[in-house]
Amino acid sequence: MLKTIKNINSKHGNKLFTLGDQAIVSGGNFLLGIYLAKTLGLDVFGKYTLAYLCILFASSLQQAFIIAPIQSLSALLNKEEKENYIKNNSIIQFLFSILAATTTILFIAITGFASLNSSFLELSILGLFIFFFLINDYTRKVYYVKNNILMAIALDITTYVVLFIALFTLNQFQLLNFKTALITLTISYAFFIVFNLHLSVPKKINTPELKATTIKNWNYSKWLVGTSVLQWLSGNFFLISANTILGATAVGAVKIVQNIIGVLHILFLAIENKIPVEASNVYAKKGIKGLTTFLKKIAIQGLLLTLLTVAALSLCGDFIITQLYGIEYKQYSSLFYSFSILYIIIFLGMILRYAIRTLEKTQFIFGAYVISAIFSVLSANFIINTYGIQGVVLGFILTQVIMQLYFIFGLKKEISIAWKSFI
């Protein structure tokens, strides 16, 4: 028995640890959303959701400009070059985190975004939260690049254990509010990092190397940065408009339902980790007909699982939302039906995206985000004013439909060839 366990660990250890770490992060965020919504109320939770949108914007830029280059380019370097490259990126990350935090504070102070400029103290805490969140995320990704998955797991466990103990304690003494929640989140993301700064921060800066690393990252990621901005706009502008028109409570209501139906991200993540590589291999061996057959099979299997999941969540929506959040949130369970349609379209879009990536026609992914972002900015106010809270999810659906239609346009030649080969 022990020998079998050792064999499994030696062959699949990294995969199991990676899946375990993803389960910690996904599960932690899922429980955090539920706990904050229940304890803070929808209005404050909606305010937190909007603050988190600022963090996600900074995180998407970080992913494009720093993390993606490290993950791809460091594998091409020898051990010493890799260490220097990561250390230079650590300096870039530190500077980027300061810039992101400062810019966000100034933006909110000037624009009054989501009523988050209520006090200088709140803005300062939010800035620290953004800083340590970005450093934390960078650190865990570097552990993966260095193949030190156990340290990444330790980082995530520490973060969520400290976070939930602190939140629970504050709530017990009736001290939990928006401000103290931000402070707790900041401390939780900083807790593990302060003991490990020596692992990634170089003692002295080599300016020419730092400049070369910055240029290398930019040459790799300039299109990714643009795409990340467009992706954030197309995915979140309806929430921003909902706050302006309907208030933070509506944002919180949309988010609590999305948090539940987001269980499908586990399926989507499993597909994302496996299918792109297999699709490339099939295309290399069997061409467009083989790729079409393969993706059709995945589409049918995945769509069946998606339909079963959204059907179960929609039918049991009243019960689920009452048990997780409370009876006062039951009025928002009808959003499950809208989100069900959305996630079916998202899944089908994933299949089209794999085809585009396999065929190296990724310019259509960028184009799709351009069109969907423009649509979101131009139509959000009208749709939400017309349809209310359901208009938020309708907006999500329409942006996805626009993207998928553009993907189909980009694949029209391949679709025609595949269709003729099946006739």
Residue 421 CB neighbours (<10 A): 12
Cα dist from 407 to 289, 368, 421, whole Å: 18, 7, 21
**Burial class (CB within 10 angstroms; exposed 0-12, middle 13-18, buried 19+) of 158:** middle
How far is it, in rounded angstroms, from Cα 399 to Cα 375? 7
How far is it, in rounded angstroms, from Cα 423 to Cα 416? 11
Per the prediction, the chain carries an average pLDDT of 88
Q: What is the pLDDT of residue 272?
A: 80
Q: What is the pLDDT of residue 361?
A: 87
pLDDT, mean of residues 63-79: 89
pLDDT, mean of residues 295-300: 93
Task: Tell me the H-state helices in 247-263.
Answer: 248-261
Q: What is the pLDDT of residue 5?
A: 39
How far is it, in rounded angstroms, from Cα 87 to Cα 94? 11
pTM of the model: 0.87
pLDDT, mean of residues 231-244: 93
Q: What is the pLDDT of residue 1?
A: 40
Question: What would you measure as the largest C-alpha separation in the chain, in angstroms?
Answer: 70
Q: What is the pLDDT of residue 266?
A: 78
- The pLDDT tens digits for 328-374 are 899 999 999 999 999 999 999 999 999 998 888 888 989 999 999 99
Residue 243 CA to its chain's centroid (Å)? 21
How far is it, in rounded angstroms, from Cα 369 to Cα 227? 7
How far is it, in rounded angstroms, from Cα 302 to Cα 343? 12
How far is it, in rounded angstroms, from Cα 256 to Cα 321? 8
Q: What is the pLDDT of residue 53?
A: 94
Q: What is the pLDDT of residue 418?
A: 63
pLDDT at position 242 over 70? yes
The answer to whether the beta carbons of residues 186 and 132 sit under 8 Å apart is yes
Maximum average pLDDT range among 19-33, 222-236, 376-390: 376-390
How far is it, in rounded angstroms, from Cα 317 to Cα 335? 9
- Residue % of the chain over a pLDDT of 70: 92
| More reliable by pLDDT, 274 or 216 | 216
Q: What is the pLDDT of residue 280?
A: 85
Residue 388 CB neighbours (<10 A): 14
- Residue % of the chain over a pLDDT of 90: 64
The answer to whether the beta carbons of residues 113 and 238 sit under 8 Å apart is no
Per-residue pLDDT band at 9 (split at 50, 70, 90): very low
The answer to whether the beta carbons of residues 283 and 290 sit under 8 Å apart is yes
pLDDT at position 4 over 70? no
Per-residue pLDDT band at 186 (split at 50, 70, 90): very high
Q: What is the pLDDT of residue 74?
A: 87
How far is it, in rounded angstroms, from Cα 312 to Cα 330? 16
Tell me which of 54-68, 128-142, 262-276 is least confident: 262-276
Both tokens of 275, joined, read 């299918």
